[in-house]
């Protein structure tokens, strides 16, 4: 049985989490009238590029092979659900361009720790990476290297095929890639 987290530690963790959210927003790119953000709707297979409250453009997406559930562990072929941020930008990848996401986030780490999938040191590594706005460690059982990318020259067939990422057409990833920065908020919903 794991001991409960002491109330003082919970308060400290909450304060640091609030600071992390503020720092991630501070890194996000501002265009025109508002913050740039990304909203992904898994059930609609849709990515909305937003500026403030306005949807600038909508794109069709492909998801992980098991799109109906949130990602839990490495190799489950599920696309995560929750609040993330763009943690890295790679201008060239085997799928054209790659926007790395901050999966696993603090909530994923909490769940993984409670379910005994990760240990305390892995939880701390994920937590601190999210607080700093860095890419989280991608070597745990929770998995990682989840992002938004293109098709890498493949046909955009309208079916789910990734290992948990969000795939756009190559032209669409070029458009999105040029309009977001590291720190851009990404919300993935069912």
The string of pLDDT tens digits covering residues 171-184 is 999 999 999 999 99
Residue 172 belongs to a domain: yes
Q: What is the mean pLDDT of residues 56-82?
A: 96
> Looking at residue 156, what is its pLDDT?
73
Annotate 55-113 with DSSP letters as a single string.
Answer: EEEEEE-B-BSSTTS---STTS-----EEEEEEEEEEEETTEEEEEE--S-HHHHHHHH
Long-range CB pairs of 14-22, under 8 A, 24+ apart, other chains included: 16/127, 16/131, 17/106, 17/131, 19/131, 20/106, 20/130, 20/131, 20/132, 20/133
> Per the omega criterion (within 30 degrees of 0), is the bond before 104 cis?
yes
User: Between these two residues, 14 and 120, which has the higher pLDDT value?
Assistant: 120
Half-sphere exposure of 46 (CA within 13 A, CB side): 10
pLDDT band for position 152 (cuts 50, 70, 90): confident
Q: What is the mean pLDDT of residues 106-135?
A: 97
Q: What is the mean pLDDT of residues 124-134?
A: 97
Residue 2 belongs to a domain: no
CA distance 116 to 108: 12
Q: What is the mean pLDDT of residues 58-83?
A: 96
23 has a pLDDT exceeding 70: no
- pTM: predicted TM-score of the whole model, two decimal places: 0.83
Question: Structural domain of residue 28, as residue ranges?
Answer: 7-189
Residue 1 belongs to a domain: no
Q: pLDDT digit string (tens) for 153-168?
A: 877 777 899 999 999 9
User: Between these two residues, 30 and 86, which has the higher pLDDT value?
Assistant: 86
CA distance 186 to 47: 10
> Looking at residue 6, what is its pLDDT?
40
pLDDT band for position 33 (cuts 50, 70, 90): low
> Looking at residue 158, what is its pLDDT?
75
Assign residue 44 the CATH number of its domain. Answer: 2.40.440.10
> Looking at residue 184, what is its pLDDT?
97
Query: What is the percent of the chain where pLDDT is above 70?
Result: 82
1 has a pLDDT exceeding 90: no
Number of structural domains the chain divides into: 1
């Amino acid at each position: 049985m794991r001991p409960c987290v002491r109330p003082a530690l919970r308060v400290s963790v909450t304060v640091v989490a609030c600071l992390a959210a503020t720092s991630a927003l501070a890194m996000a790119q501002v265009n025109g009238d508002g913050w740039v953000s990304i909203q992904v709707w898994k059930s609609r297979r849709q990515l909305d590029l937003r500026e403030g409250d306005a949807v600038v453009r909508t794109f069709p997406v492909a998801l992980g092979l098991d799109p109906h559930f949130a990602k839990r562990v490495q190799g489950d072929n599920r696309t995560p659900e929750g609040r993330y941020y763009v943690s890295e930008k790679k201008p060239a990848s085997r799928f054209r361009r790659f926007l790395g996401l901050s999966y696993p986030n603090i909530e994923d780490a909490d769940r993984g720790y409670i379910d005994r999938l990760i240990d305390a040191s892995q939880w701390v590594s994920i937590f601190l990476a999210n607080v700093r706005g860095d890419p989280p460690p991608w070597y745990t059982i929770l998995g990682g290297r989840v992002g938004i990318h293109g098709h890498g020259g493949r046909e955009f067939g309208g079916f789910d095929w990734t290992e948990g990422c969000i795939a756009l057409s190559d032209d669409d990833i070029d458009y999105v890639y040029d309009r977001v920065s590291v720190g851009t908020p990404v919300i993935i919903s069912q």
